[in-house]
Amino acid sequence: MRVEGRGRIDRTRPVSFTFDGKTISGFAGDTVASALLARDIRLMARSFKYHRPRGPLTAGSEEPNALVQVGTGHAMIPNVRATVQEIHEGLTVNSQNRIGSLERDLMAVNDLFWPFLGAGFYYKTFMWPRRFWEGLYEPMIRRAAGLGRMTRGPNPEASERAFAHCDVLVIGGGPTGLMAALTAARAGADVILAEESAECGGRLLSDAEEIDGVEAEYWVEDMLAQLKETGRVRVMTRTTVTGVHDGLNFGALERVGQHLPHDPDTPRDCFWRIRAKSAVLAAGALERPIAFPMNDRPGIMLASAVRTYLNRYGVAPGRNLTVFATNDDAHRTAVEMQAAGMRVAAVIDSRTGVRKQGDYRLIEGGQVIDTKGRHGLRQITVRHGGRTDDIITDCLAMSGGWNPSVHLTCHLGARPVWDAARKAFLPAPDAVPGLFPAGACNGNYATAACLRDGHAAAAKALAMLGLKARKVEVSEALEDAGSVSTLWYVEGKGRAWLDFANDVTTKDVKLAAQEGFTSVEHMKRYTTQGMAPDQGKSSNIAALALLADATGRGIPETGTTTYRPPFIPVPIGAMAAGAEGKGFAPERRTTSDRALRDWGAPMIEAGLWYRPSYVPKPGETHWRQSCDREVRMVREAVGVVDVSTLGKIDIQGPDAAAFLDFVYCNTFSTLKPGRVRYGLMLREDGHVMDDGTTARLSDTHFVMTTTTAAAGQVMQHLEFVRQCLRPDLDVALISVTEQWAQFSVAGPQARALINSVLDEAIDDESFPFMACGPVRIHGIPGRLFRISFSGEHAYEIAIPARFGEALYRDLVARAETLGGGAYGMEALNVMRIEKGFITHAEIHGRVTADDVGFGRMVSGKKDCVGRAASLRPGLSGPEREQLVGLKPKSPETPLLAGAHLFREKDDAVRVNDQGYITSVAWSPTLETYLGLGFLLNGRARIGETVRMVDHLRKAETLCEVCDPVFFDPEGGRARG
Amino acid sequence: MAELIARSAFQGLLPLRFGNVEAVEVMAATITSVSPFRGQETKVSKALEKAVGVPFPDAGRVIARDDVRAIWTGMGQCFVLGADPGPLPGAAVTDQTDAWGALAIEGTDARAVLARLVPIDLRPDVFAVGHAARTLFGHMACVLTREAGDRYGIMVFRSMAGSAAHELEGAMRKVAARERLQ
């Protein structure tokens, strides 16, 4: 019920939302859990395995029970903690993990079979028949086991990623964090203060406390004002630091729009990567539940959560409270609930000799041994002094003490250390270098100790930066956190839950110990304790304490499992924000892109680039029609294709020629200025890396071209050679791929077309095959290269990219008047196969220069990268598969790239494999299918018949082994 | 003689304006890379200053005089924007005018927009006016400069201008939406 006069919610702003279709109203500032509790709705979820009715155990992100799904359609997010999700107008919340209504979940039948559903149930039960596992058991179990439901479509609500940098990152905005942030900022450091909830203050907003004689919430306000005044503190609320990574890089998840009505531009959440020079961990502590029999009913929650609902949200989770505690601190819950006008039925303390803090019935040395109430707590049974009492209650606040939130200190591999005096695991010393734990997460619970510790930790963080902490007045606050004893579990009839999220009970841990899973890591995996989305935040310590008892060891000997990032569940969509779909990689568009799309050319990816597959003409319905036409067009008239995507590297310097001699296997120092040469580049291991042409513009200036796919790799390789292998050579490299739009003009009419755009016409004499030089194109300075990848008389013409689109459209229009036009990648590929030119289909990384027939290109007169390796036995010669051409015996039978080659009479099995096909095409010029491939000792087998077998596509045919150059083997067309 | 129409890298993609941030295309008359050969650094720097009025910048820095800027772009390499230094004895000089799409982003939240795309530390006193960096812009390599308090220059490969504008728009929209929440 709502309590007047308490809470930090805005009662002037009512907000309504729906829960399982029912409209619920709350106030701005409410969470789903607080708004539901205010309407006396305690049942919010069904448990994982037994489908037990559950309500919230906590009021924070550690919540194991109250998981709900939020949103509709593809924007639905499962497993959202109702204790974290703030309500907003239009919010749709549904309970999950049920069949039928939440009240009458059909899966609750599991609860009746609980004696059979213990640890290892699945391993023991679904063993036979074996073949049933994959088809039947696993899908069935998966169907029954998952918590939330996944949607299949992409989430229409976008996430965001961002980077932040600071000197000191303070994690947690409670008293410790506020003190640390102020200390750091006053000393001149840039501070980021990350606070998980909607506002700073931590427990000070939940507990009625005084600091410097005023209510603590006023002190928080004052501190925030002081932080603002420094101008150095960036307060990030609703931001959970999810992980510590190497070099003090932190991940953090900010809830940006989750608490607001949908707006298309507001990201749902933001995944921050925060780089800090030092950090203060002020993550606080989480209260421990007690594993007593039937401790999982809605209405049973942590004592600290009851105070949070009361003081922060103005909600009493019950009207008739009982408290079950092992410590003084939890007694405050009774005092505060009484002050709010609620009845306190009893405070049961497991200790004796306890001082009463108010006017309530105190049961000393008592334990709760049973509870009743199917959908919500009605009654508890207490055992004390040899007798048992039934007590009517609708809310039981339990507290087994506190567990410091050491999670982040474990992220780099350190394990927390048991502190016998504080009865808690504390951060290992120097667990994360540069991260200083302080306050409750460091085992200092009293507010005054938190303030001092926050100041001291900030001073250490500042010392790392070479800054000195100025004196900051530490406020006067509560000095005593009270005494505490441990009570991990209560023996009795019925199940006592340890891990509420994964339905792990004390019985399961005992069973694990009994069956030999005595290591804490084995126990965890056998019982699944701690493996739910909450990472066992409220159950790990109790489970290992129980395991310690069950195995007769102490807690330090038993040890603890560790915590890994992320601290809270992080949607993959947040970590990958912006990288979905086309955001995965940038698109590179050529200057001809717009024209080609205008003409309806299908664009295909080539690395990051987009290139036209073909350029269709009206009436063409199949790519082969367009492709065949384009090939004939180039062979008979002239064609234009954009080749700007090929890598272009400007190489200059006194040693440029020597450098090229070293990176290419053939020689470039002998190339005359104004000429182009084909070059083959090897990797250090003697295999072919890339090929291309390089033009010599002057004695000390070359332009290298690479293949489209390997442009980045070659640039990287050249830089490596320049900086590491041959620092003695004086040479400068820079990519000019993007500077020049470059078009290939090929065909018998190529020169006519080129001359129509040049200011000064060229002829065979001034511009022979493999010539290059500067030209003016419609008055614009450009470059011309007479090179051919089609076997035709061809040029590549280069112009500064801003003129690329205009020149391309102009060239194509002029080509059309000559009976030619634009062509695409398919036709380009057909023509290069007709000519036996290789691409990365052939130089795929496992072939050597000798394999592709270029063995003699590896110059014996000089050294080059890969030469030594290429000379090793086994990397050349007849024992290797060598490049050959292939023609089917019947010309119309397609060859298939990827198919394997066998001797005519051999069985088509692996041991008889003779090679494989890398490229195939229908040649409209020669009217037959053609293929390039690699065949064992292929060059010596020209004329032989081999069998192509494609086991995948179930095809086979006989082919003739040929020279790879099918068309114009003398090369007269290109030279002429 | 036909006249070829020039098209800029961000034509039709910029300007963009969301909230208090504006992104506009910046056209430098020329962009020229300068890489001094071994031992020629001082000589080249002097020659460069003589030719266009700015010397070779230190690593991570920009030197600007009037409309000419020299931006450090890597080990032993700078870009000269706004004036063509011509051939410089002792240095590799390469025309890069058409290789880059350049834009400027300006506004109170310009830094917040960049924090969505650029991983480096952009705190005002760390990446100060006159600083330059080769870093990432989304998934793209870029040259980043700080030109004034809330004004940054970004250069990306010309072919990636479409993706760059798209990424920028996404970040600008989200930052503007957050600003509206304040």
Q: How confident is the model at residue A150 (pLDDT cuts 50, 70, 90)?
A: confident
Looking at residue A122, its pLDDT comes to 67
Tokens 């909450």 belong to: A534
DSSP, collapsed to helix, strand or coil, labels residue A327 as strand
- Asked whether residue A103 carries a pLDDT value surpassing 90, the answer given is no
Q: Which residues of chain A are in CATH 3.30.70.1400 domains?
A: 648-735
Looking at residue A473, its pLDDT comes to 81
- Asked whether residue A142 carries a pLDDT value surpassing 70, the answer given is no
- Which residues in chain B touch residue A267, judged by CB atoms under 8 angstroms apart? 174, 177
With CA atoms as reference, report the closest residue to A885 among A844, A835, A811: A835
Contact B99 A736 (CB under 8 A): yes
Summarize pLDDT for A288-314 with one digit per residue, the tens: 999 999 999 999 999 999 999 999 999
Residue B32 to residue A801: CA distance in whole angstroms = 15
- Which residues in chain B touch residue A161, judged by CB atoms under 8 angstroms apart? 116
Tokens at residue B150, please? 């809330």
Phi–psi pair at A140, nearest 5 degrees: -65, -45
User: Is any Cβ of chain B less than 8 angstroms from the Cβ of A803?
Assistant: yes
Looking at residue A485, its pLDDT comes to 85
Q: Return all residues near A222 (Cβ < 8 A) that are at least 6 apart.
A: none
Please state whether A436 falls in left (phi above 0), alpha (psi between -120 and 50) or beta. beta
Amino acid, single-letter form, for residue A394: D
- Homologous superfamily (CATH) of A873-975 is Aminomethyltransferase beta-barrel domains (2.40.30.110)
- Asked whether residue A116 carries a pLDDT value surpassing 80, the answer given is no
Strands (E), A29-101: 45-46, 53-54, 67-70, 77-81, 92-95
Interface of A with B in 745-784 (CB under 8 A): 757, 759, 777-780
Summarize pLDDT for A812-840 with one digit per residue, the tens: 999 999 999 999 999 999 999 999 999 99
Of A160, A739, A778, the CB nearest to B116: A160
Summarize pLDDT for A569-605 with one digit per residue, the tens: 999 999 999 998 888 999 999 999 999 999 999 999 9
Amino acid, single-letter form, for residue A418: W
Tokens at residue A839, please? 């691409």
With CA atoms as reference, report the closest residue to A202 among A225, A177, A183, A222: A177
Tokens at residue A472, please? 């900051």
What count of other Cβ atoms lies within 10 Å of the Cβ of residue A539?
27
Phi–psi pair at A481, nearest 5 degrees: -90, 0
Residue A541 to residue A543: CA distance in whole angstroms = 5
Residue A301 near residue A287 (C-beta atoms within 8 A): no
User: Is any Cβ of chain B less than 8 angstroms from the Cβ of A718?
Assistant: no
Residue A42 to residue A55: CA distance in whole angstroms = 5
Give percent of chain A with pLDDT exceeding 90: 87
Q: Return all residues near A58 (Cβ < 8 A) that are at least 6 apart.
A: A64, A83, A286, A287, A301, A302, A304, A305, A538
B146: closest CA of chain A, how far (Å): 17
Residue A529 to residue A523: CA distance in whole angstroms = 8
Looking at residue A328, its pLDDT comes to 93
Summarize pLDDT for A422-472 with one digit per residue, the tens: 999 999 999 999 999 999 999 999 999 999 999 999 999 999 999 998 888
Of B7, B157, B177, the CB nearest to A805: B7
Own/partner pairs, A867-873, CB within 8 angstroms, 24+ separation: A867/A665, A867/A682, A867/A686, A868/A686, A869/A682, A869/A684, A869/A685, A869/A686, A870/A665, A870/A682, A870/A686, A871/A686, A872/A686
Residue A329 to residue A213: CA distance in whole angstroms = 20
Phi–psi pair at A81, nearest 5 degrees: -80, 120
Of A162, A590, A759, the CB nearest to B159: A590
With CA atoms as reference, report the closest residue to A740 among A788, A791, A807, A793: A807
Amino acid, single-letter form, for residue A219: W
- Asked whether residue A145 carries a pLDDT value surpassing 70, the answer given is no
Q: Return all residues near A549 (Cβ < 8 A) that are at least 6 apart.
A: A488
- Asked whether residue A126 carries a pLDDT value surpassing 90, the answer given is no
DSSP, collapsed to helix, strand or coil, labels residue B67 as coil
Residue B15, preceding peptide bond in cis (omega within 30° of 0): yes
Residue A248 near residue A562 (C-beta atoms within 8 A): no
Q: CATH for A1-153?
A: 3.10.20.440
- Which residues in chain B touch residue A732, judged by CB atoms under 8 angstroms apart? 35, 37, 76-77, 91-92
- Which residues in chain A touch residue B89, judged by CB atoms under 8 angstroms apart? none
With CA atoms as reference, report the closest residue to A348 among A363, A336, A328: A363
Q: What are the per-10-residue average pLDDT scores of chain B (182 residues)?
A: 90 97 96 97 97 97 96 97 96 98 98 98 97 97 97 98 97 96 84
User: Is any Cβ of chain B less than 8 angstroms from the Cβ of A650?
Assistant: yes
Residue A218 near residue A204 (C-beta atoms within 8 A): no
Please state whether A28 falls in left (phi above 0), alpha (psi between -120 and 50) or beta. beta
Q: What is the mean pLDDT of chain A?
A: 94
Phi–psi pair at A391, nearest 5 degrees: -125, 130
Mean pLDDT of A930-936: 98
Contact A736 B96 (CB under 8 A): yes
CA dihedral B71, B73, B75, B77 (to 10 degrees): -60
- Asked whether residue A157 carries a pLDDT value surpassing 90, the answer given is no
Looking at residue A139, its pLDDT comes to 74
Tokens at residue A358, please? 């108010």
Which neighbouring-strand residues pair with A280? A170, A436
Q: How confident is the model at residue A208 (pLDDT cuts 50, 70, 90)?
A: confident
Q: How confident is the model at residue A233 (pLDDT cuts 50, 70, 90)?
A: very high
Contact A583 B158 (CB under 8 A): no
Residue A427, preceding peptide bond in cis (omega within 30° of 0): no
With CA atoms as reference, report the closest residue to A290 among A374, A403, A404: A403
Q: Which residues of chain A are in CATH 3.30.1360.120 domains?
A: 593-645+739-823
Residues belonging to chain B? 182
Residue B96 to residue B80: CA distance in whole angstroms = 9
Summarize pLDDT for A626-674 with one digit per residue, the tens: 999 999 999 999 999 999 999 999 999 999 999 999 999 999 999 999 9
**CATH architecture for residues A593-645+739-823:** 2-Layer Sandwich (3.30)
Please state whether A295 falls in left (phi above 0), alpha (psi between -120 and 50) or beta. alpha
Note the Cα A374 to chain centre separation in Å.
Answer: 42
What count of other Cβ atoms lies within 10 Å of the Cβ of residue A202?
27
Which fold, A488-578?
A: Arc Repressor Mutant, subunit A (1.10.10)
Best of B94, B114, B157 to mutate (most A CBs within 10 Å, chain A): B94
Residue A70 near residue A76 (C-beta atoms within 8 A): yes
Give percent of chain A with pLDDT exceeding 70: 98
Residue B123 near residue A275 (C-beta atoms within 8 A): no
Tokens at residue B83, please? 């004036």
With CA atoms as reference, report the closest residue to A91 among A265, A262, A246: A262
Residue A212 near residue A219 (C-beta atoms within 8 A): yes
* A750-757 helix and A804-817 helix, angle to the nearest 10 degrees: 130
Looking at residue A110, its pLDDT comes to 79
pTM: 0.93
Tokens at residue A678, please? 């084909």
- Asked whether residue A970 carries a pLDDT value surpassing 90, the answer given is yes
Interface of A with B in 75-114 (CB under 8 A): none
Q: Return all residues near A143 (Cβ < 8 A) that are at least 6 apart.
A: none
Summarize pLDDT for A353-380 with one digit per residue, the tens: 999 999 999 999 999 999 999 899 999 9
- Which residues in chain B touch residue A774, judged by CB atoms under 8 angstroms apart? none
- Helices (H) and strands (E) counted in chain B, each on its own, are 3, 11
Contact B99 A737 (CB under 8 A): yes
**CATH architecture for residues A648-735:** 2-Layer Sandwich (3.30)
Residues belonging to chain A? 976
Phi–psi pair at B166, nearest 5 degrees: -65, -45
Contact A163 B100 (CB under 8 A): no
Looking at residue A899, its pLDDT comes to 98
Contact B178 A266 (CB under 8 A): yes
Mean pLDDT of A874-893: 96
Summarize pLDDT for A532-568 with one digit per residue, the tens: 889 899 999 999 999 999 999 999 889 888 899 999 9
- Asked whether residue A144 carries a pLDDT value surpassing 70, the answer given is no
The gap between the terminal CA atoms of chain B, to the nearest Å, is 58
Q: How confident is the model at residue A479 (pLDDT cuts 50, 70, 90)?
A: confident
Q: CATH number for the A160-284+404-465 domain, one of 3.50.50.60, 2.30.110.20, 1.10.20.10, 3.40.1390.40? A: 3.50.50.60
Looking at residue A780, its pLDDT comes to 97
Looking at residue A634, its pLDDT comes to 98
Q: How confident is the model at residue A962 (pLDDT cuts 50, 70, 90)?
A: very high
Residue B124, preceding peptide bond in cis (omega within 30° of 0): no
Please report the domains of chain B, with CATH numbers, ordered by start residue.
Answer: 16-27+98-181 (3.30.1360.120), 31-95 (3.30.70)
Residue A304 to residue A400: CA distance in whole angstroms = 11
Looking at residue A108, its pLDDT comes to 79
Contact A190 B123 (CB under 8 A): yes
Of B38, B98, B119, the CB nearest to A739: B98
Sign of the alpha-carbon torsion through A103, A104, A108, A112: positive
Strand A77-81 to strand A67-70: parallel, antiparallel, or no bridges (unpaired)? antiparallel
Summarize pLDDT for A16-63 with one digit per residue, the tens: 999 999 999 999 999 999 999 999 999 999 998 889 999 999 999 999
Residue B142 near residue B102 (C-beta atoms within 8 A): no
Phi–psi pair at A755, nearest 5 degrees: -65, -25
Mean pLDDT of A751-762: 97
- Asked whether residue A231 carries a pLDDT value surpassing 80, the answer given is yes
Looking at residue A696, its pLDDT comes to 98
Q: What is the DSSP letter of A526?
A: H
Query: Order of strands across the sheet with A740-746?
Result: A772-777, A780-785, A794-800, A740-746, A639-642, A821-822
Tokens at residue A951, please? 């086991």
Q: CATH for A299-399?
A: 3.50.50.60
Q: Which residues of chain A are in CATH 1.10.10.1100 domains?
A: 488-578
Q: Which residues of chain A are in CATH 3.50.50.60 domains?
A: 160-284+404-465, 299-399
Interface of A with B in 289-308 (CB under 8 A): none
Contact B159 A780 (CB under 8 A): no
Residue A696 near residue A702 (C-beta atoms within 8 A): yes
Q: What is the DSSP letter of A347?
A: E
